[in-house]
Every structure is written in structure tokens, then in C-alpha cells.
Amino acid sequence: MIEQAVGLPQQIEERLLDELRIQDPEVRVRAGRASFGWLYLHVISTVFVDQGPAEREELIDAILAALDSGLSKYPLLDWRLQTPQEAEVTSGEPFQPIDIPLWSEILNAPEPAHPISVDQMVTKRPLVVTFYSFKGGVGRSTALVFVASLLATRGQRVVMIDFDLEAPGLSFMSSSEASKPTPYGVLDYLHQRSLTPNHSFLRIEECVHRLNVPTRGELYLVPAGDYARGYVYRLDDLDLRLFYLRERNPIHQLFDDIKAYLDPDVILVDASTGFTEISALALLDKADLGIICFSPTEQSFAGLQSVVEAASKLRDYRGFPDLRFVLTPMPQVDPSQQKQWITRTAAWITEHWEMPPSVTAADLSYQIPYNPNITMLTNLFGELPASILKPYVPVADAILACLPQETVMKKFHQLG
């Protein structure tokens, strides 16, 4: 399977050259890997003269049918079908490949020739939201859980995924009195799919845990996995780079299966800290929206500069992820000191993150005060005091604003 995926660009090139050279001996074809294992195709030929875009695509599709491939099929992501004269006008490399969504790959990639505009916010369902922090101890997982509860209270069907595989947290935030959790999770699923990509020996239903919560919505958890089931050994065997050379990427399969099985409104992903491979995949590959949790320290700003730079460059390529910034935990200090932190954060966001003209840094940032009572809670998924949840309401509102409004209004009327 891996060899077939790796050799597919060459097969596409050879097939097209064999067929198109009959009419155009000077035809040029290039197929290569674009972002995240997908393929791009560039064909320059006189056969396209006097043909419109639809005719050109039909011609290429007919040729690629012998490979059970086509312009609208996996793994072709983007293509350019040009006459020699058209190619001269758009000289240069038409595609800027990012093979794997890792920090170094994206930061080292050239700037896109035609960056995508950020003039308007894109709405989507299901919306994938990744909670990320450069350093630990800032309440990232807690923020995710409270926001999930707020969204479920508003009637949304919410799935939480514990993608912090090296230090799982979400799996331990519910009480043992809740419905019996699944013994399987993200790591089990990825490990099994890496061994048997075409067989569902471990179904997604076996990895999903529905939480009994006092809301009208629904709340599900896909834990990292069970420590007692060879967890460390499977984690050591995980080869994330190899996933992106496969025709069926286990990480993409995981999200596709969750969407097909649960049809969620929102998927909340808890990412690991720092510049790890798994945190890059969670934020830079899967997220439509990133929630960046941090404390207002120079160390945090220094680390986040590369994080925001990578997300910004990737957004220029693909149009996402969008970002929101959460200052947490904000200690109880003199109001003037707190105002200074907020002002410093707004200035930093304005300098490093491009925003539409009508949006300010204050619209994209939120403050969560330190609350010692949270540490006393034994079950973060239970019925919680409004005073604890209140600071997280703006974050939940920001997520709801990224959902199609018909989805939000439908749930609102159902609650009414």
C-alpha cells in the first residue's frame, strides 16, 4: 500500500505522457506531492488550445481512468492544465509543496505566490477546533472541557478528542460514576489502522465514550487510550510521518470515521504542548480554528511566535486555521497590571496575526482569571456553578460564530 501511494505521481506522469505525446510530442507533465500527502498535477500541452477548462479536465480524467484516478478523486488536490502560451504568463513553480504538516516543513516552505485572502470568516460544520498551548500548566484541557459543556448546554453535539498522546488529560476528568468508559482510544485506533489500513478490526464505535451530562446537547469523548493495554509500546511504534505517505492516512481516517458515526456539530481536539509532531498535526492539519492558550510572559510570546507564524503561512496556502487567543490563568493582581498584560497581548496579536480590516485583537482574545476552586472539582463534566463557567462563555460564543447560522438557529429552536 505504501509503495503504491509513493509511486502514484510517477504512474500519473507516465500515463499522461504516453497518451498526450501522440498529439503533442513536446507535452510537459509534472505530478508531485502537495500539502499533507495530496498530489498536484501540472500539464502543459498544445492539445489544450481552443479548449475550455471543462474540456481539458474531461480529457485528463479520461486518460487517468485507467489508473482508477481522476482530477476529482483522492489523492489529487490541485491541478493546472495550460497551453504553452498560458504557462509563459504564469512562469515559475505553480505549487508550493508542504509534504507533511510539521512545524519545520511549514516554517521552511516558501511564501505562497497567491495567498488566500482573510477578508471574511469561513463557517463550517462539523467545525474542528484545536486547543493548543506552547507550555503546560495554563489550563488548556480544562478550558476545552468547560467550553465543551457550554456548547452541549446550547444543544450542540460535541466530540472531544484527546490528542495529547504523550500526556493524556481529558480521559481522567470525568468521575468513575459516569457511564463506563471505553477501553480503547486514539492511540489504539491509529495503531490498528497503521497495521491494517483496509480492515476495521477496531471500529470507531469502540473508541467513543458518551458522557452522561445534564444538558440537552450531546457530549462524547474519544480518549487517548488505556495505559494498561501496552500504551507506551504502541506510542513508541507510532510513525506519524509514514501516515502521510499512505493512500489512507490513519489520522484522516479517524476524523472521517468520527464524522460519519456521530455527525457532530463541533469536534474539540486537545493537542500536546510545544513543537511536537502530534501537536503540529492537531493544530496545522486538522483544525479549522485554533484556540491558543497561554500566560502573558515573555517566554510564552517567544514560543508562540513560531506557532503563529506557521499557522499564518498555512492559512495563506489553504485558508485555515483561524486563531483565537486565550490568556489563562490570569492571576488576581492590581487592575493596572492586568490592563498592561492585556494591552501587551493585543499589540503582540496585531503584530503577528493578520486580521480582516473590521476585526481587532480584542475581538480575538479572551481572559480567564485564575480560580482555585477548579482544582477542588472531582468531575469537570458534572453540573458546574455558573461562576466557574462564565469566563469561558466568550470562547464558546466564538466557536458558535464559526458554525453555519442555520445549525445554531436550529438547535436554538429545538431548545425553545
Please write the tens of the pLDDT for every residue from 111-151: 876 687 887 666 889 999 999 999 998 999 999 999 999 99
Lowest-pLDDT choice from 28-32, 90-94, 357-361? 90-94
CB 158 within 8 A of CB 220: yes
Is residue 261 scored above 60 in pLDDT? yes
Is residue 11 scored above 50 in pLDDT? yes
Question: 19's torsion region: left (phi>0), alpha (psi -120 to 50) or beta?
Answer: alpha
Pairing of strands 322-330, 289-294: parallel
pLDDT > 70: percent of the chain: 90
* Per-residue pLDDT, 412: 64
* Per-residue pLDDT, 19: 96
Lowest-pLDDT choice from 14-18, 139-143, 317-321? 317-321
**How does 113-125 read in b/e, with b if 16+ C-beta sit within 10 Å?**
eeeeebeeeeeeb
Q: Alpha-carbon dihedral of residues 368, 370, 376, 377, nearest 10 degrees?
A: 0
Is residue 1 scored above 50 in pLDDT? no
- Write out pLDDT tens, residues 390-406: 999 999 999 999 999 88
Is residue 226 scored above 70 in pLDDT? yes
- Write out pLDDT tens, residues 63-85: 999 998 899 787 787 789 999 99
Is residue 98 scored above 60 in pLDDT? yes
Provide the 3-class DSSP secondary structure of residue 273. coil
Closest CA to 381 of 164, 89, 181: 181
Closest CA to 155 of 384, 394, 407: 407
**Mean of pLDDT over the chain:** 87
* Per-residue pLDDT, 120: 63
How far apart CA 212 and CA 73 sit, in angstroms, is: 40
| Domains of the chain as residue ranges with CATH | 2-97 (3.30.300.90), 127-415 (3.40.50.300)
Is residue 176 scored above 60 in pLDDT? no
Higher pLDDT, residue 141 or 333: 141
Q: Could you identify the residue written with the cell 442555520? A: 406
* Per-residue pLDDT, 4: 41
